[in-house]
């Protein structure tokens, strides 16, 4: 998937609760799901702006998870408990964001739960690769494919990335 809109399309075809670890930036897009107030549990930074955004968009207060790092092994375990609770409540898919920074959480979740896991390779991760490639510091194709492979190996069944069109072109070229 290329962005949050495509993630909403996928989620539209599913039922059950979803833990959104995408932050507050794309909450308006996810709020387009007809039953988002029942199904979505956004995890956002515990900042007044983030919480107000959630409430303004109609996310129920009891569904909002406000937490901030620095993250540790204990925090990862707490996150896994939250994921487990969401699954028990009927989640069909769990989304992790940012993808590269949370590969450890993704891997632990993949080993712990028999559940479709999605990652969102955020715009900042995309921009870092693009800038490094533009400066000639890296081979963009190689780094993008290594990053996507790492996400898949860590347990992602769905990868949302701004690199999607390039990755498809590169894969088609190889095969």
Yes or no: say if 78 and 72 are a contact pair by the CB < 8 Å rule: no
Tokens of 87: 């699954």
CA 163 to chain centre: 15
Which residue in 22, 16, 11, 21 sits closest to 82, CA to CA?
21
Q: Rounded distance, CA 34 to CA 73, Å?
A: 36
User: What is the set of active-site residues?
Assistant: 62, 97
């Amino acid at each position: 998937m290329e962005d949050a809109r495509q993630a909403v399309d996928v989620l539209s075809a599913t039922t059950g609760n979803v833990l959104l670890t995408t932050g507050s930036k794309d909450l308006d897009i996810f709020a387009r799901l007809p039953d988002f107030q029942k199904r979505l549990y956004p995890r956002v930074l515990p900042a007044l702006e983030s919480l107000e955004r959630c409430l303004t968009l109609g996310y129920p207060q009891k569904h909002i998870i406000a937490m901030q790092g620095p993250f540790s092994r204990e925090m990862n375990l707490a996150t896994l408990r939250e994921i487990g609770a969401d699954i028990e409540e009927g989640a069909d898919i769990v989304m992790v964001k940012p993808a590269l920074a949370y590969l450890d959480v993704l891997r632990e979740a993949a080993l712990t739960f028999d559940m479709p896991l999605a990652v969102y390779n955020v715009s900042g991760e995309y921009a870092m690769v693009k800038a490094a490639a533009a400066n000639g510091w890296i081979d963009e194709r190689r780094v993008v494919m290594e990053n996507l492979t790492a996400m898949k190996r860590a347990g992602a069944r769905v990868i949302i990335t701004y690199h999607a069109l390039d990755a498809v072109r590169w894969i088609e070229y190889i095969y």
